[in-house]
Amino acid sequence: MEKLIEITNMNVKLNNRKVLDNISLTFFKGVSVFITGSASSGKTTFFREIAKRQDRKIKKGVILEDTIIEPGTVRDVLTQDDDYNNVADVIAFLGLDKVWLSKCCTLSYENMTKLLIAKYLIQKVDILFIDRRLQFLKEKERKRIIEYINKRQVTLVYSSSNIEDSLYFPYMVVLDKGIVAIEGKTMQVLAEEKLLKRLGIGLPFIIDLSIQLKLYGLVDKVYSDKRKLGKYLWK
């Protein structure tokens, strides 16, 4: 698997307090990652450090919670690229045609998020880091955008406190007090119910329900899909 970004021993100290403590993570092409953790676990600090890095061999996009574009209109920002076909598809998908001539400074938070995503997709970044922003979109829209980013062969690294979103990602990292508490394939991480509970992390509803049903002997394994779970229960 092609390595895009390899982070070794990332340390951040603020006012003699360790915010990130020896974080080592590798991001691979085509393997999107969900990052979560309880309050003050270091998620935002991690993304800010990623934004500061110089990664010359790859094209990287970072959208932080407070990232905005101020000057110009949506059209100004997105038509710097002369491949209009590439631009048109992204604009239509993200609904930015509705605000095409709007000034960036007048955009809602949701539309600003979509503009930033569009900008990086048009630039054809290899990897895109998004800190929390998709949480402000409805679930259907969020899922749609995550799938679209993946379809465009951009590795997405997304941080959120909404554990339900973990199911859209093949790989998951849980931060706790500035360290990587657990990482791995999402279903394997979510199977560590006791550890996650200790870290203050809940489980996605369907996973939690499956685990409880498995304890009752009603299902054979943990399901992440309601249809498969329903089908098994009443087979």
Partner 1 sequence: MEISDFVKKNKIIALSNFNVSEVNAVDCFVVRTRTLSDNISVREYLSKICSNDKRLEDSCKMVNENSDFLNRIVMHLSTTELLKLFLMEALLGKYKNIVLVNFDMYFMEKELLFFKKLFRKLVDKYDKSIVMFCDNVNFMFDLVDEMYLNTADRIYEFDGKDLYNKKIYKYLDKPKIVDFIEYLGNNGKVFDNYTEMKELLKAIYREV
Window of 54-62, 80-88, 114-122, 197-205 that interacts with partner 1 by CB under 8 A: 197-205
Residues 6+ apart with CB under 8 A from 183: 25, 171, 172, 173, 174, 189
127-131 vs 155-159, strand pairing mode: parallel
Window of 38-46, 97-105, 114-122, 184-192 that interacts with partner 1 by CB under 8 A: 38-46
Q: Is 66 in the site for partner 1 (CB under 8 A)?
A: yes
Helices (H) and strands (E) in the chain, counts: 9, 8
Closest CB to partner 1 among 32 and 45?
Answer: 45
68-107: which residues touch partner 1 (CB under 8 A)? none
Closest CB to partner 1 among 100 and 136?
Answer: 136
Closest CB to partner 1 among 69 and 209?
Answer: 209
**Best CA proximity match to 122, nearest among 157, 76, 87:** 87
Query: Is the torsion defined by CA of 207, 209, 210, 215 positive or negative?
Result: positive
171-176 vs 179-185, strand pairing mode: antiparallel
Q: Is 132 in the site for partner 1 (CB under 8 A)?
A: yes
Report the interface residues with partner 1, using CB under 8 A: 14-15, 17, 19, 36, 38-40, 42, 44-45, 65-66, 108, 132, 135-136, 138-139, 161-164, 200-202, 204-206, 208-209, 212-213, 216, 218, 226-227, 230, 233-234
